[in-house]
Amino acid sequence: MQPMKELARLLEHLASAEQYLFSPDDLRSALPEASPGAFKALLCRAEKAGLLRRVCRGIYLYPRVAYPAGLVLFHAAAKLRADAFNYLSLETVLSDAGVISQIPLNWVTLMSSGRSHIVDCGDFGHIEYIHSKRRSANVADRLNYDQDCRLWRASVSLALLDMKLTRRSMDLIDWEVADEHV
């Protein structure tokens, strides 16, 4: 079977509304005999043909399933750094809680045990990882798992502390609302 057809068959079989993002390693099993160069060319051809849509470097979306469009950045953030301790914090959490008045459109901020980095996800937006030396045990009581986002989410008090420790602008914070959450 042709490599493109084999990849299409695999994606049709594996993809669902829950599993619609794939890394190259996820897809590599479709063509284990292909050389690295041939596999990379196949991904490029699959993207040009509309079989895959590149979210960011190392993450592809299978557009032929109904996926939660508003959660793609969150799911991509979780998938990109699945091997690190990450949690939603800073402006993302404070905006969701109504503590800051501006809503960061297409921008997700996370604290991470990995290095600080901003990932450009093209039309989807940006994922900003901010390095933290904190261990999960030190903040576990101030984190809740967000099933929809597939990430841990900081409490408002922890997000405010993260803002202070990372020296982010505190100008947009509505302290009356913040005090209600703390």
Q: Examine the domain organization and report whether 56 and 84 are in the same domain.
A: no
CA distance 162 to 165: 5
Q: Examine the domain organization and report whether 121 and 164 are in the same domain.
A: yes
Checking DSSP bridges between strand 126-131 and strand 117-120, what pairing results, if any?
Answer: antiparallel
**Element housing 175 (H / E):** helix 175-181
How many angstroms separate the Cα of 31 from the Cα of each of 4, 108, 110, 163?
10, 34, 34, 45
CA distance 173 to 17: 36
pLDDT of residue 1: 57
Q: Examine the domain organization and report whether 115 and 90 are in the same domain.
A: yes
Look up the domain containing 90 and give its range.
70-181
pLDDT tens for each residue of 92-110: 999 998 888 777 789 999 9
pLDDT tens for each residue of 19-39: 999 999 988 877 888 888 999
pTM for the model stands at 0.91
Q: Examine the domain organization and report whether 41 and 96 are in the same domain.
A: no
Give the dihedral of Cα atoms 165, 113, 118, 120; nearest 10 deg.
Answer: -150
pLDDT tens for each residue of 103-144: 778 999 999 999 999 999 999 999 999 999 988 899 999 999
Query: How many domains would you assign to the chain?
Result: 2
Residue 182 has pLDDT above 70, yes or no: no
CA distance 65 to 53: 12
Domain at 13, CATH number: 1.10.10
Last residue of a domain, one of 26, 50, 67: 67
Encoded tokens for 77: 């953030």
